[in-house]
C-alpha cells in the first residue's frame, strides 16, 4: 500500500519523530522515579499487539463468513455480536458493521475527529486522523482509494462512506475471498486486514 497523503508525509514523519523522542524521555524518567516499570511498558505494548487490535475484528469477520446466523446477528447488532467473543468496552459501546457486496463497497471515516472502533480494530492509524483523509474521503472516496491506497474499486460498485462519531462507530464486514471454501476460521481470520475493515484495502489473498 502506498503511503497516504504524501504531500504531508515528510512533515508528519518529523512530527512523529519528535513525539516519539518525548515519549521515550518521559518513559525513562517515570521508570527512573519508580512510577512504572519496563515490564509494565512491555505489557501495555503486548495488549495492543495481541489482545486488542485488528486480530480481534478478524476473528469476528471469519465467524460471520462461516456462520450465517452469527452474520445476521452481527449486522443487526454489532456490539452484541462482538460481545459473544468478549470484545467490547471503551470506544466500542455502540458499533455498526456494514457489509461489502458485489454492488456496494463501504469505507469509514470520522469527519469531526478520529472516532474509531478500538475494541475491534485496535488503535487508529495515523492517516485516519489526518484532516486530508477526513475531508477528501467524504468528497471523492473513489479517487482517494485509488490514488492514496492503491485500492481500485470497480466503477460498477457503489462506494458508501460512513461517518463515525463518539456515539456510533462503524466498521466494514469485507467480502469473503473466492477460493477459500476449504479454509477454517483461523485461516480465514489470517486473511482479514485492518484496512479491509476500514474499507481502504482488500482482504489478503488466500
Name the packing angle between helices 38-46 and 9-32 (round to 10°). Answer: 140
Instruction: Read off the C-alpha cell for 4.
Output: 497516504
Phi-psi label, residue 53: left if phi above 0, alpha if psi -120 to 50, beta otherwise: left
> Per DSSP, what are the bridge partners of residue 171?
97
Q: Is 82 a catalytic residue?
A: no
Catalytic residue among 110, 156, 165, 166: 110
What number of other Cβ atoms are within 10 A of residue 152's Cβ?
Answer: 11
**Candidates 114, 164, 165, 166; catalytic one:** 114
- Which of the following is catalytic: 37, 113, 165, 166? 113
Catalytic residue of the set 82, 115, 164, 196:
115
Asked if 60 and 88 touch (Cβ cutoff 8 Å), the reply is no
- With residue 92 as reference, give the H or E element that holds it: none
Instruction: Give the catalytic positions in this structure.
Output: 110, 113-115
Amino acid at each position: 500500500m502506498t503511503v497516504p497523503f504524501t504531500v504531508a508525509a515528510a512533515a508528519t514523519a518529523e512530527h512523529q519523530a519528535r513525539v516519539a523522542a518525548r515519549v521515550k524521555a518521559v518513559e525513562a524518567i517515570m521508570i527512573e522515579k519508580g512510577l512504572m516499570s519496563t515490564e509494565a511498558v512491555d505489557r501495555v505494548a503486548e495488549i495492543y499487539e495481541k489482545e486488542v487490535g485488528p486480530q480481534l475484528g478478524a476473528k469476528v469477520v471469519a465467524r460471520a463468513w462461516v456462520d450465517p446466523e452469527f452474520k445476521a446477528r452481527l449486522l443487526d447488532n454489532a456490539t452484541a455480536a462482538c460481545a459473544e467473543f468478549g470484545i467490547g468496552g471503551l470506544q466500542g459501546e455502540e458499533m455498526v458493521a456494514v457489509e461489502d457486496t458485489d454492488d456496494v463497497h463501504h469505507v469509514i471515516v470520522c469527519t469531526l475527529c478520529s472516532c474509531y472502533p478500538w475494541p475491534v480494530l485496535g488503535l487508529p492509524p495515523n492517516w485516519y486522523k489526518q484532516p486530508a483523509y477526513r475531508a477528501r474521503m467524504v468528497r471523492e472516496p473513489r479517487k482517494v482509494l485509488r490514488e492514496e491506497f492503491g485500492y481500485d474499486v470497480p466503477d460498477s460498485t457503489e462506494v458508501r462512506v460512513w461517518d463515525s462519531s463518539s456515539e456510533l462507530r462503524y466498521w466494514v464486514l469485507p467480502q469473503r475471498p473466492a477460493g477459500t471454501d476449504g479454509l477454517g476460521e483461523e485461516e480465514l481470520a489470517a486473511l482479514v486486514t485492518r484496512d479491509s475493515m476500514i474499507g481502504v484495502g482488500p482482504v489478503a489473498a488466500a
